[in-house]
A and B are shown apart, each in its own frame.
Chain A
Amino acid sequence: MSRYDVVIVGAGVTGCAIARELARGQRNIAVLEKNADICEGTSKANSGIVHAGYDAKEGTLKAKLNVRGNEMMEELSKKLDFPFRRNGSLVLCFNEEDLPKLEVLKDRGEKNGVKDIQILSPEKVWEMEPNITHDLAGALFAPTGGIVCPFVMTEAFAENAAVNGVEFYFEKKVTSIEKSHEGFKVICGDEIFEAKAVINAAGVYADEIHNMVSDKKIKIVPRRGQYNLLDKKCGDFVDKTIFQLPSKLGKGILVTPTVHGNLLVGPTAEDLDDKSDTETTAEGMSKVFKEAALSTPDINKKMVITSFSGLRAHLDDASGKSDFNIGELSEAPGFFDVAGIESPGLSAAPAIGKFVADMVNRSFPVPNKTGFVETRVGIPNMANAGDDEREALIRRNPQFANVICRCEFVTEGEIVEAINRPVGAKTLDGIKRRTRAGMGRCQSGFCQPKVLEILERELGTDRGNICKAGKDSKILEGYTKEDSL
C-alpha cells in the first residue's frame, strides 16, 4: 500500500493544474490516471479557446474562474512555456432582431469583469475579418479572448508538478474508494493508495468517483462535440475566434485559428450515454461545415486533414444551474469534487488549480516548500526556430538535424526529449501531443515507423510493444511470414 497526503484522480488539465498548485506545500501527492498518459480525456479534444468570460451567468463559479483563468493565462504561458495567443474573439449576430442579445452578452461580460468588450458594426467586423459573411447585423468583440495548445498546457502543468515532487501513476483506474482512519483508501484493482485527501478530477467519470463516497448521487452526461481540423494552408482564413450567437439552429459553430496555425471548425453538441464514445459521424462532420458557412461562407471543406470529437462533462442537475461543482463533501470530509468541468474548463484551469489548492490548504494546512520550481522550459521547437537557433540546437545535439515529421518539421531531438522528460511520452499519441509529430497533413503516414524506432530505442522495448495510446492499441502485429507456412 502506498501512502500519500493527497491523491488526485485524473490527469487531465484540471488534475494536472491542481497537482501543480498543491505541490507548493510540503505534502506527498499522487495523481492516478486510468489511461497510459496525461491528457487522454476531454483535455485532448476541445476547441482550445481561452474564453473571455461573457458566456457564463454572473455569479457562477464558471464565470469567476473563467475570467480569473483568462487573466492568469498570459503570465503562466510564459512561466511554463506553452503556446498561447490573445487573438480576440467575435460573436456574430446575423439578424437585426437578435441584436439585443448581443447587448445581454456584453452586459453579462461586464458584470463578470471581462475587460474592453464592445459591440461592432458589420463594417468594422469586415475590416477586421474580410472572410466573414455579409449577412451580418453586428458582433460582440472581446479582445481578451485567446487560444492555447491544450496538450502542451496540460503537459506543462504535469511536468512542473512532477519536477516539484508529484508522482504520476498511469493505467491506474480507480475502482472504489473506502473511508479509513487516515482518510481514504483509493483502490485501483489490487493496488491501494491511502490518502488524507482525495481530489476527484475525473472529467466525464467524476460522477462515478463521487458516487463511490457519497449517497448524494450525481450524474454526468457526456455531451459530444465533433470537429474538423483544416490544413495550415488556411490557418489565416480568420484571425480571431469566430463564434455565433446561439439561435434557433443551436448553440452555433465556431471557426478559429489554432495556436499552431491550423483552422478548426466545430463543435456539435450531442448528449450520449456512452462515456467513451468519441466517434465522429458523417452527419456531425457535415453539420459542422454547414453551420460554419453561416459565419464564413467561403470556408474550404477540401482542406480537412482530420476530424475528431471530445466529450463535455455536463452535470445533469435538477436546478439547471449547470455550474462547475467544486467543493469538499460534507458527507465525506477530505474528499473534494472538481466535477462538471465542461467548457470553459480549459480557460479556467489555472484558476481552478489555485481555487482547489486554497480549499485543500484550509482543511489540510501545511507549510510551503522551499525551492518550489516556478518555471518550466518546453521542448525546443525547430519548426519555429530561426537559423541561428537551429544551428545552436544541432550543435548541442545533432539529433535536432534529423527531421522525422516532415509536415510539422519535428526532429529526432524533439522526440527524444519528449520521451525523456518528466512524465515523458511512451506512446505514439503521446509523442504527437508533445511534439506535433504526426499532427500535420499526412497524419503520421510518413513518420510513424521512424517514431516507433525512436520509442523502441529510448524506452528499451521492442517496437512491437509500442502502442498508439492504451495497452490494446499496438501498432504492429508480429512478423512477416509468421502465418504463411
Chain B
Amino acid sequence: MKNVDILIIGGGPAGLAAGLSAKRNGIGNVLILERDKCLGGILNQCIHNGFGLHTFKEELTGPEYADRYVTMVRDEKVPFMLSTMVCDIAVDDDGDKIVTAMNKDEGMLKIKAKAVILAMGCRERPRGALSIPGTRPAGIFSAGTAQYYVNMEGRMPGKKIVILGSGDIGLIMARRLKLEGAEVLCVAEIRPQSGGLKRNIVQCLEDFDIPLYLNTTVTKVHGKDRVSGVTLSKVDENMNPIEGTERFVECDTLLLSCGLIPENELTTAAGAQIDPKTGGPVVDGMLQCSIPGLFACGNVLHVHELVDHVSAEAEKAGAFAADYVKGR
C-alpha cells in the first residue's frame, strides 16, 4: 500500500489549486488522482473566455486558465496520476483514509492518506429529473455533452436547436452552436429569470438575436428516431404548464442546461453528511466534512459561479489539510 500525507481526488481547477497549496504549506507527500487522460477537468472544453479575472487579472479561456495551474503543478513537482479512478474512500481505526483506486497499469491500488481533499467537481442535472413527456429519440443532449462534441471533437450535435434552461453552459452553447453554423431557435427558461450570468445573456443571446423565453418549459418531445420538434408551454407561478399556451417548435435537437449538481457519490459512500440544499458535503470553517481529515473544495462542495472562486477556496482547503496533517 502506498502512503501519502494528503490525497486529492480530482485534477480540475479545485484539485490542482489544493495540491499546490498543500505543497506550498509544507506537505510534500501529496498526490492528485485524476480519472481523465489529462489534468484540467471541465475547463478543457470551455474554450470561451471569461476565466481568471480575479486570479490572474486577465481574461483567459478555460484551457488557458487550466494550463496556468498545470504548469505550476509540474514546475513545483506536485505528484499526480492520470487515468486513475477512485472507487472508494474508507476510514481505518487510526483515522487514516484508505482510498481504493484503479488504473490500467497498476490494476487495483490502495493508498493510505492522513487527509483527503475531495475535488471531484460537479455534473449536469440530468433530463430524468425533469421528466419531459413524449418520445425518447436521438437528439437530446445535456449542454455539456454538446459542448464536448463541438469543442473537443468538431462535431455537431444537430442543426436546429432548442435549449431548455438558461444555465451558463446553455447560454455559452447557444452562441457556440450559432457560430458553428447551427440555427439556435430559442432558449426556454421555466423560471421568471435566468440563472445564468447577465454578461452571458447579453453576449451569448442578445448579441446573436437568440430569444430567451422566460416562464416557459418544454412539455413534450416529438420524433420517433430523431427529435422532430418540441412543444413549449408557458408556466404559472408554481411552474405548472398553463393549458392553451402550447406551441410547437420544429427542431432536431434539444439541449438541456438545467444547472449543475455536485458529484458526491464517493462522499456519500464514505459516510460524510450531505447538505440537501447545496448537494455538497456539510463542512466546518476549515472546509472539513463530518469525517475528520476529509476536506472538500470547489464544485463538489457547492456549484461556484466563477472558477476563480474555486481556486481561492481550494487554496484554503490545501492549507487547512496541511495544518491537519501537521497537527496529527
Contacts and interface: CB of A to CB of B under 8 A. Distances in A.
A464 to B, nearest CB: 7
Nearest to A398: B104
B248 interface: no
B138 A390 contact: no
B172 to A, nearest CB: 15
Interface string B85-110: 10100000000000010111101100
Interface in B51-106: 83, 85, 87, 100, 102-105
Interface stretch (B150-158, B286-294, B309-317, B319-327): B150-158
Contact of B252 (A308, A442, A471, A477): A477
B131 interface: yes
Given A228-B131, A276-B224, A279-B134, A477 B150 contact: no
A477 B251 CA distance: 13
B133 to A, nearest CB: 5
B103 A304 contact: no
Contacts of B252: 477
A132 B54 CA distance: 54
B1 interface: no
A441 B126 contact: yes
B181 A442 contact: no
A304 B128 contact: yes
Interface stretch (B19-27, B141-149, B189-197, B198-206): B141-149
A289 B157 CA distance: 34
A395 interface: yes
Interface size bracket, A side = 35 or more
A12 to B, nearest CB: 18
Given A391-B107, A468-B137, A401 B102 contact: yes
Contacts of B104: 394, 398-399, 401-402
Contacts of B108: 387, 390-391, 394
Question: Which of A278, A445, A446, A449 has the largest count of B CB atoms less than 10 A from its CB?
Answer: A445
Interface in B105-149: 105, 107-108, 123-124, 126-129, 131, 133-138, 141-142, 144-145, 148-149
Contacts of B263: 406
A127 interface: no
Nearest to A403: B85
A306 interface: yes
Nearest to A466: B138
A478 B131 contact: no
Given A402-B83, A469-B225, A479-B155, A446 B133 contact: no
Interface in A292-337: 302, 304-308
B242 interface: no
Contacts of A285: 131, 133
A263 to B, nearest CB: 13
A443 B158 CA distance: 19
A474 B226 contact: yes
Contacts of A398: 104-105
Contact of B226 (A401, A472, A484, A485): A472
Contact of B225 (A449, A470, A476): A470
A467 interface: yes
B131 A307 contact: yes
B249 interface: no
Contacts of B158: 477
Nearest to B176: A480
B129 A445 contact: no
B155 A476 contact: yes
A320 to B, nearest CB: 32
5 contacts: A279-B134, A399-B104, A445-B127, A468-B225, A475-B138
Interface of A: 228-229, 276, 278-282, 284-285, 302, 304-308, 387, 390-391, 394-395, 398-399, 401-403, 406, 409, 441-443, 445-446, 448-449, 463-464, 467-485
